[in-house]
Structure 1
Amino acid sequence: MTSELTAAEAELVSEVEVAGLPSVDDPTKVAPKDARALTKTFLDRLTELEEGTHEYQYVRNTLIELNLSLVRYAARRFRNRSVEMEDIIQVGTIGLIKAIDRFDLSREVEFTTFAVPYIVGEIKRFFRDTSWAVHVPRRLQELRIDLAKANEELFQRFDRSPTTTELAEHLKLSEEEVVEGLVASNGYLTTSLDAPADHEAGGASRVTTYADRFGDVDPAMEIVENLHALKPLVGELDERDRRILQMRFGEELTQSEIGAELGVSQMHVSRLLTKSLTRLRRGLLAE
């Protein structure tokens, strides 16, 4: 928000003075005490002006510049965030403008008391809508803040990190709700798998990425999963069919050798194997 008046507004200064308003050369340099008094005067005049006129715009802009110190005061609460302070002040100024447009003199409330919640609310909304790497419900976003405060307070009290039970008791929540909030907090910041990660190897430091630390898929895992899925299906076969499967795939006998063992033809063994394997395949696909 610039402190310089436009040419049109500068031409209107004399008109404003005639209208009973004091001239303010640089509103941003007015002392806070004087700014409060001037703010009330300008707010009184703003209610009498027609919106959209040059005079109305001049008075409104002056009010914004007079109260930029309120925005800077509120923005200091968020100075530890990973956002430039200038950006936070710009967002807070939007809240200030909303407060000016919605302020009602009949409420007999100090403008400062009315405006600060608007400014802080606008900044919080900005962080809620833009800072989370993964979108989570607003309830969980607010719970993350409560958990952070509770964790800091209990750490000071116990000189250690609090347990889930202690956090739940402190916040008067269930342990399930606390766990849900802690898990959701992981969505506030994310790191690319291609981000570099220092890794010590052979006494020398080499730069790797997080993706390098992931293991490959073990092909044996698929075999284990299939065996676990097949076990109950094989149990449903009769004893002869299970015996044939054992000889064919466990003992690796040929169909002719199986037929000689059971006293049946090789063709009959082939039909029995086909029937059993088809049944097992259907069972796996159904699962």
Structure 2
Amino acid sequence: MPAQDDTQTRVLEDLDAAAIDYATRMAGASGAERAVLRDALTRTCLPFAGRMARRYRGRGESLEDLEQVARLGLVKAIDRYDPERGSFTAYAVITISGEIKRHFRDRTWGVHVPRRIQDLSLEVGHASMVLTTELSRTPTPLELAERLKVSEAAVMEALESAAGYSPSSLNAPAGGDGPVEFGDLLGGHDSDLEMVDDKLTVAGLLLRLPARERRMLAMRFYGNRTQAEIAAELGISQMHVSRLLSRSLAWLREAMLSDALPRWEGANGPADIHGMQVNVERGNGALTVRVHGEVDRDTAERLRTSLRHAISTAGGDRLVIDLAGVPLIDAAGVAVLVDTASAAGSGLVLTGAQPYVARILAVSGLQNLLGQG
């Protein structure tokens, strides 16, 4: 190995000496003599250009083409050589390498890649061959980065960009007996496209729900919150949350399947914020209290106040509580009715209860007041 290094050093020194002699003789030569001297130095340096070209073989370009490019770089180095600026060999290495890299960058890449990445890709390829020989295995990106004194991320980027050097054709056969091309295997049926209309429809319907229901649906299906977490944040029971979610989903499902917008059986419709209205009417020997909306923790005290006032003003009239407009009642609402029944005595009647509300009242001990009047 030392003998080979010594031989290479002597060759480089001989090229430097030949270049200096060439420059000296060119100073006093005529036009014809200049051409002869130029050709002679070029022939002397051709083996050196060939060795430079062989450094870049195995990268998709034929060795003959690389040698032609290297020789072009050699001629440029000879024509531009100035002995006062240093070694001819060093200048020739830079010129020939730059010409070969320019050839790879401008003529061989199938996909446009930034020049910085192209140059680094060539350096990575050359360093990979050298390290493979030294290590007897494929080098890692970290080893390549240490060899080239660049970051590992830059090496990874260069390795990924190397795929753009000779990209595969989409019209290339994909294998097998059938006339299937590679491009036929790309893409596929996008099932999400069929859901675009449904998603847009649901988005519009959600805006028609009360703000509380919209918030609960967002927390459950977009925020992945549990019913217990939603209940804690909204200050209601987990069972109440379950009922509200079920009712909202049922309404959305019915709205999606029907042409006309279904009636919202909630607190005075989607435009209202889980409110409750109490109307009092007197006639035919009865004081009728009509309740509209949900009776829950948020509205129970308002109902209690209204019913206490109704009891105080009923006089000898029978007290009738019309629950036809109540789609939902929770424990707080049941407690209000129980207290009212105790205060009003036998003169209290509950009418118009919807099936769900009627079941709640029945299991709460108010069944004897249902279905009367």
TM-score (norm 1): 0.57
Q: 1:217 aligns with which of 173, 189, 200?
A: 189
TM alignment of 1:99-118, pairs within 5 A: 99-107=77-85, 109=87, 111-118=88-95
8 A Cα contact 1:70 1:116, kept in partner: no
Deviation at 1:171, TM superposition (A): 6.6
Indicate how the Cα distance of structure 1 residues 64 and 167 shifts in structure 2: closer, same or farther if over 3 A, else same. closer
Q: Which runs of 5+ in 2 are unaligned?
A: 1-10, 211-247, 265-373
Q: 2:98 aligns with which of 98, 106, 121?
A: 121
8 A Cα contact 2:12 2:89, kept in partner: no
Q: Which runs of 5+ in 1 are unaligned?
A: 1-30, 200-204, 263-287
TM alignment of 1:55-70, pairs within 5 A: 55-70=33-48
Which structure carries more helix by proportion?
1
Match of 1:7 in 2: none
Match of 2:121 in 1: 144
Q: 1:94 aligns with which of 72, 80, 84?
A: 72
Match of 2:207 in 1: 236
Query: Per chain length, whose mean CA-contact separation is higher, i.e. which structure has more relative contact order (CA < 8 Å, sep 6+)?
Result: 1
CA deviation string 1:62-116 (max 9, x = no partner)? 322332122112111122132232221221122112211222223463x334323
Indicate how the Cα distance of structure 1 residues 232 and 145 shifts in structure 2: closer, same or farther if over 3 A, else same. farther
Q: Given residue 208 of structure 1, which amino acid in structure 2 is its aligned partner?
A: V
8 A Cα contact 1:42 1:63, kept in partner: yes
Q: Given residue 214 of structure 1, which amino acid in structure 2 is its aligned partner?
A: L
8 A Cα contact 1:39 1:66, kept in partner: no
Quote the Cα distance in structure 2 between the aligned partners of 1:33 and 1:174.
Answer: 35
Answering whether residue 170 of structure 2 is matched by residue 193 of structure 1, we say yes
Once structures 1 and 2 are overlaid, which stretch shifts more, 88-97 or 206-215?
206-215
Once structures 1 and 2 are overlaid, which stretch shifts more, 53-62 or 146-155?
146-155
Alignment RMSD: 4.3
Match of 1:46 in 2: 26
Matched residues, number: 219
Quote the Cα distance in structure 2 between the aligned partners of 1:58 and 1:168.
Answer: 46
Q: Rg larger in 1 or in 2?
A: 2
Quote the Cα distance in structure 1 between the aligned partners of 2:18 and 2:64.
Answer: 25
8 A Cα contact 2:173 2:181, kept in partner: yes
Deviation at 1:210, TM superposition (A): 0.8
Match of 1:74 in 2: 52
TM alignment of 1:130-169, pairs within 5 A: 130-148=107-125, 153=131, 162=140
Indicate how the Cα distance of structure 1 residues 175 and 161 shifts in structure 2: closer, same or farther if over 3 A, else same. closer
Q: Given residue 117 of structure 1, which amino acid in structure 2 is its aligned partner?
A: I
**SS of aligned partner of 2:164:** coil
8 A Cα contact 1:70 1:112, kept in partner: no
Quote the Cα distance in structure 2 between the aligned partners of 1:32 and 1:174.
Answer: 33
Identity of aligned residues (%): 33
Indicate how the Cα distance of structure 1 residues 216 and 248 shifts in structure 2: closer, same or farther if over 3 A, else same. same
8 A Cα contact 2:53 2:66, kept in partner: yes
TM-score (norm 2): 0.46
